[in-house]
Structure 1
Amino acid sequence: MANPCGDGTPDGDWQRYLNFRCTGCGNCCRRTHVLVTDEDLRRIERGVGLPVADFVHFVPEADLKLEKRSAWWVRFDSGRGAMALRHRPGGACMFLDEEQRCTIYEHRPVTCREHPFEVELSDTGALNFIALSDIVECPHDWDGNISRRDVIKTSRWNEKQSDVFLDDVGRWNRRRKGRKTRPGFLRYLGFDV
């Protein structure tokens, strides 16, 4: 986690973080796997009219830097995978256009909305920690205008949505009956595949 602003706590240099501005380079959409929840998939499916099976895939362990014990791993008969947006050949998100713009911006996953911030909230919902993710090179500028309230709101949304999804993943992973396939998991989440 990169932290150019001191200790990253609310007592640190808040203004610098809130002045972050994306330059539209597209690195975060080309060089990462965007993990998604079922709520993200439903929002995208409704927004663009594509069936989920056309834009989701499960990233195998060998292709993703994620802790072995992470709750994001979904168990299948053929191994584990983490649910993510599909990539085009070359590694770019399938929704990134030639001008490095997101074609589903209004419907994008919550993790994309929160990026590039790594945020930790207290039990009361206050901002405990903020830093910039170092998952990809980000040639950002510091002349933006992001509200602290929006950072907290998006982080709460992401946390709530992820908690519900990860509970579903945990229940799926504990199941003992039936085959565990990728289409089966999508059906388990309520999708027609």
Structure 2
Amino acid sequence: MLDLEAFKVESLSDFSANKKLKIRLRKVKSKALDTKFQQLHEEVFSEIDCLDCANCCKTTSPIFIKTDIDRLARVFRMKSTEFIDEYLHQDDEGDYVLNSAPCPFLNEDNTCLVYENRPKACREYPHTNRKNMLGILNLTLKNTLVCPAVLKIFQQIGQDYRK
């Protein structure tokens, strides 16, 4: 199991340096940065098992889009409005997010009760293997505080680009 307390301390202590790194990364060619993130994503996730952590499910909420809400409402044999009333609220930006953390669909063994039907944001998390990483560097920086894999990817990228 990952030591989430140690991760929290490490990610907070690295945050200032990672913020500076994010600024430097804006000068890197988009395709080169995408390639580097993709490579490190594959390496890091060959070593890290999300089921040993689930910190994202324990501390944050994905954004639920209409198709997610409709799909999950069907799974629970509810109307979409009932699903929203029971599990979601709109945040300051008008997005639907969970009412509380940890996620109500997180099982004790860190598996997901609705894994096959999970929201799109959960399917794509932590977004380190997608194109146009330059466009989501702010989100990726925030995710260094949530996901040990993202922190490790950022630390490894930093070895190449901090100078």
Compute the TM-score of the two structures, normalised by the length of structure 1: 0.47
Distance 2:107 2:29 in 1: 33
More helix by proportion, 1 or 2? 2
Q: Which runs of 5 or more residues in structure 1 are unaligned?
A: 62-72, 75-81, 121-126, 142-193
Whether the 8 Å CA contact 2:30–2:132 is kept in 1: the answer is: yes
1:86 corresponding residue in structure 2: 99
Distance 1:102 1:8 in 2: 37
In the TM superposition, what is the alpha-carbon distance from 1:139 to its structure 2 partner? 2.5
In the TM superposition, what is the alpha-carbon distance from 1:45 to its structure 2 partner? 1.1
Distance 1:140 1:8 in 2: 23
1:174 corresponding residue in structure 2: none
4+ runs of 1 displaced by more than 3 Å? 1-4, 6-9
Structure 1 vs Structure 2 CA RMSD? 3.2
Whether the 8 Å CA contact 2:59–2:146 is kept in 1: the answer is: no
Distance 1:113 1:43 in 2: 14
2:8 corresponding residue in structure 1: none
Identity of paired residues, percent? 25
1:10 corresponding residue in structure 2: 31
Instruction: Provide Cα deviations, 1:34-85, integer angstroms capped at 9, x if missing partner.
Output: 22111110111112324412222234x4xxxxxxxxxxx33xxxxxxx3112
Q: Which runs of 5 or more residues in structure 2 are unaligned?
A: 1-14, 151-163
Distance 1:48 1:102 in 2: 14
Whether the 8 Å CA contact 1:23–1:139 is kept in 2: the answer is: no
More strand by proportion, 1 or 2? 1
Residue 28 in structure 1 maps to residue 53 in structure 2: no
Q: 1:58 aligns with which of 90, 103, 121?
A: 90
User: Which protein, 1 or 2, shows the higher relative CO under an 8 Å CA cutoff with sep ≥ 6?
Assistant: 2
Q: 2:67 aligns with which of 9, 18, 39?
A: 39
- Give the alignment of 1:131-142 within 5 angstroms: 133=140, 134-135=142-143, 136-140=145-149
